[in-house]
Amino acid sequence: MAGKTFHQRPQRAGPARRETMNGHASGANSARPIRKLGLAGLMFATCLTAPAFALAQQATPPSSDPNQAFVLDDIVVTARRREERLQEVPVAVTALSEEVLEEKGVRDANDLGQVAPGLSVQNTTANRNNITYSIRGQGQAFGQNSPGVVPYFAEVPSFGDAIFDLQGIQVLKGPQGTLFGRNTTGGAILFTPRAPSEELNGYVLGRVGNYNRRDIEFGLGGPILGDKLMFRVAGQVLRRDGYTKNVATGDKMDDEHRQAWRASLTARPFEGFENTLLYQDVNVDEAGSGLLLSVITPTFSNEPVYAQLQAALAAQNARGPRSIATNYEPDFIKLDSQGWINTTNWLINEHLTLKNIYSTRRFTAGQSYDLDGSPVTILHVTNPVGPKSKSTSEEVQAQFNFGNINGVLGYFTEDTKTPLIYGFDTRQFVRIPGLLPNGGVIQAVNIAQSTSGSEAYFGQVDWAVTDRFTLTGGVRKTTDERSSGPSETFVLFSPLQPYPTGLSAAAGKRLFVSFEATTWNVAANYQVSHDLNVYATVRKGFKSGGFNGTAINPADQFFKPEEVTDYEAGVKGLANLSGWQVRYAIDAFYDDYTNIQRFVNLATVPASTVTRNAATGSIKGVDLDVTVAPTDWLSASVQYTYLDAKYDSYNDALLGDLSNSRFPNTPKHQLNFTPRVEFPMPEGMGELSALASIYHQTGIATDPANVPNGNALVALSSAGTNIEGYTRVDLRADWRNIKGTGVSAAAFVRNATNKDYITGTNNQLTSQFGVATYLYGQPRFIGVELRFDLGTR
């Protein structure tokens, strides 16, 4: 699953070459693909002015022969649990090497959506660290632990995705499960950390920039006892001031204050046997996110304070998105996580390899935020920092290869326990006839606990019918168990009432539910030639059901699993057009989706949010990924996704007919254009390059109620859920291995046009609160980096 990817670079024709993400290579020297010099190039020139241009003038100009042949290096992925050329894998995959992640400035999960079209990354309004991944319209319902897209770190699901010292990231599109730990309906994201190696190597990187940015990152690995015992340690410290000012409190929101480190040890006591132990620690302690009041509507409950809301909205519009005025403190985001992963590989013989992956993780998180984004107390929420939750998983695989048969058989189990904790503590402005006729603030405190578990058997076989034609079949049997409670919600009408310290005798009983599913995958793959492959696949995906912990209505206590049948066909290849080397991958897909899980805000007192099942939906679209290298100093890549995802039939008990509404977080069009240029340099002076990464997406809906169908309530909701598309431009220039010293320098501009764009919303327009709040993306960031590499990069 997790493994190596390879960076794509053009090179002159010559001996074959493959380059791994940790930089090892063989064969002819290659030049990097180019991308166009823009503002980042000018910045870099400002930093290094005379030397760079003088050296470039001394260098020999690149060849202009239109018939000059270039070779794009192989990209090798592990989407099917073994190393394969990207062109030969019958599934849509985006592979991002360590070098690509560095050049495109991918530092956290929020950046991934702009380098892997087809993947949408959204935030909850309250917390930029709460990431919702969506692939092909399938993501995660609010508050549920069964995402449609599962992130894997070192082959362990949902372990954490600290993006530093990585070999690379792979984005797999479409249902997974016959090879992976968890079932998914949308896809998987594989984060692969750099492993210990037999050669001493490492790096240290410093970064400074505006908003008082100061980051440091390092990695060091090598042998302890030759190739028998090896180590690697790595760490990251990120610091940046907030870019959103709360004028009511003087606080700076949207800051960055986090650190993480990991250590791994690999032992090879005898030939064919390898064990790697990895430990990771992540800590986040930041101010809250700068969510702001954006849309309001009058309701029965907010009528007494509606004039104040109108004044607050007018003032917010006048300030713009980088200044807010909220009245709830403290506003914070905290995360503390520690985990171990133990991975064992045992090569029994040339036909059979056994693998075991065990993980354990303890984590706690807390946050406090003003969800109405205004100086009026409408909805304030605190999720207190409580006892640590614990998650364990184990996966056993047998990987076999007998003649023209390759395959994997596996077993997976996972268990997560959340102890009795304060689930949330809210302040809500409500009107209750006879009790609070003119409105007032109540405090609702929820105490709950939960457990979840999963067990699955899976297998997949590839049969090479001929040397060109391969058939694939896979199946998975999953049993998921969920439990909730005992739990209780306390409502306090006065600060003088005692704060609850535990459950009362009226607390509900513990509830149990289990779900079973059989999912499968069939595919056919025809290798027309070494550089041309066509494939077709049909897959069945499953996402577990669960509980609604805050449900007041008994009918909302449970929600069902959702299922999807995915049909995909594609072509992948390499072509040489008059000396222009072209790599391309094109696929078309159609998904039939049932029992879709979507969250709904209910107008209850106290307020509650539940997950419900929509009826049916359909998803269709096209992915295009093309890289063109006309010379050894110039290249450009274009990635495009068209996605049409909507509900075919959806009747909600509260909101009515939502048919034809768009799936949340699914832009119809996503485009990334990346030109890159490498400047000629004298021998021994290093490599000088510049690129521009231009990302565009059309508008999205952040809530399932976005097409009114004549329904006034849905029309009301759609005013706060349909947000505009945007274009973002990032620029970067690099001078690598300056004069052979191992020192590299870079200058970068993120969001070069300083575009204001929305990354998350919270829509309470159809609830008693009558407000919608927005969270905006990052402003223009400017900075420089200095890096020193020890040994082979």
Residue 304 lies in a domain: yes
* CA-wise closest residue to 397 among 407, 389, 405, 406: 407
The pTM of this model reads: 0.88
Can you say whether the dihedral through the CA atoms of 263, 268, 274, 275 is positive or negative?
Answer: negative
Q: What is the DSSP string of 8-76?
A: --EEESSS---B-TT--B-SS--PPP-----HHHHHHHHHHHHHHHHHHHHSPPPP--TT--EEEPP-E
Tokens at 755, concatenated: 């575009």
Instruction: Supply the pLDDT for residue 488.
Output: 86
HSE-CB for 351 with a 13 A CA cutoff:
4
- Number of domains observed in the structure of the chain: 1
Q: Where are the beta strands (DSSP E) in 250-320?
A: 252-253, 256-267, 273-287, 292-296
Residue 2 lies in a domain: no
723-739 as b/e: b if 16+ CB within 10 A: beebebbbbbbbbbbbe
Instruction: Supply the pLDDT for residue 611.
Output: 85
Residue 126 lies in a domain: yes
Helices (H) and strands (E) in the chain, counts: 4, 49
Tokens at 613, concatenated: 């099942």
Q: Cis peptide leading into 330, omega within 30 of 0?
A: yes
- DSSP 3-state of 739: helix
Instruction: Supply the pLDDT for residue 125.
Output: 59
Residue type, 603: A
Instruction: Supply the pLDDT for residue 287.
Output: 92
CB 11 within 8 A of CB 33: no
Question: Which CATH number is 147's domain given?
Answer: 2.40.170.20
Q: What is the DSSP string of 655-700?
A: TEE-TTPBPTT--SEEEEEEEEEEE---TTS-EEEEEEEEEEE--E
Question: Where in the sequence is the domain holding 550, given as residue range(s)?
Answer: 10-416+431-436+455-481+510-790
Q: Which residues contact 723 (CB under 8 A, 6 or more apart)?
A: 699, 700, 701, 702, 758, 761, 774
Q: How many Å apart are CA 176 and CA 187, to the nearest integer?
A: 6
Tokens at 353, concatenated: 């390899």
Tokens at 17, concatenated: 């070459």
CB 56 within 8 A of CB 675: no
CB 67 within 8 A of CB 578: yes
| Regions of the chain short of the pLDDT cut 70 | 1-74, 124-127, 140-145, 549-550, 552
Residue 503 lies in a domain: no
Burial class of 763 by CB neighbour count within 10 A (0 to 12, 13 to 18, 19+): buried
Q: How many Å apart are CA 438 and CA 442, to the nearest integer?
A: 13
Q: How many Å apart are CA 55 and CA 33, to the nearest integer?
A: 20
HSE-CB for 433 with a 13 A CA cutoff:
1
Residue 256 lies in a domain: yes
Q: How many Å apart are CA 356 and CA 744, to the nearest integer?
A: 39
Tokens at 242, concatenated: 């907030």
CB 338 within 8 A of CB 161: no
Q: How many Å apart are CA 113 and CA 121, to the nearest integer?
A: 5
CB 136 within 8 A of CB 645: yes
Q: What is the DSSP string of 366-420?
A: EEEEETT-SSS-SEEEEE---SPEEEEEEEEEEEEEETTEEEEEEEEEEEEEEEE
Residue 421 lies in a domain: no
Q: How many Å apart are CA 569 and CA 550, to the nearest integer?
A: 42
H or E element that contains 311: helix 306-319
Instruction: Supply the pLDDT for residue 8.
Output: 43
- DSSP 3-state of 714: helix
HSE-CB for 379 with a 13 A CA cutoff:
28
Can you say whether the dihedral through the CA atoms of 96, 99, 104, 107 is positive or negative?
Answer: positive
Residue 426 lies in a domain: no
Q: How many Å apart are CA 323 and CA 249, to the nearest integer?
A: 11
Residue 574 lies in a domain: yes
Q: What is the DSSP string of 221-240?
A: EEEEETTTEEEEEEEEEEEE
Instruction: Supply the pLDDT for residue 138.
Output: 84
Q: Which residues contact 727 (CB under 8 A, 6 or more apart)?
A: 694, 695, 696, 753, 755
Most distant CA atoms of the chain, gap in Å: 87
Point out which residues pair with 390 in neighbouring strands: 362, 417
Point out which residues pair with 387 in neighbouring strands: none
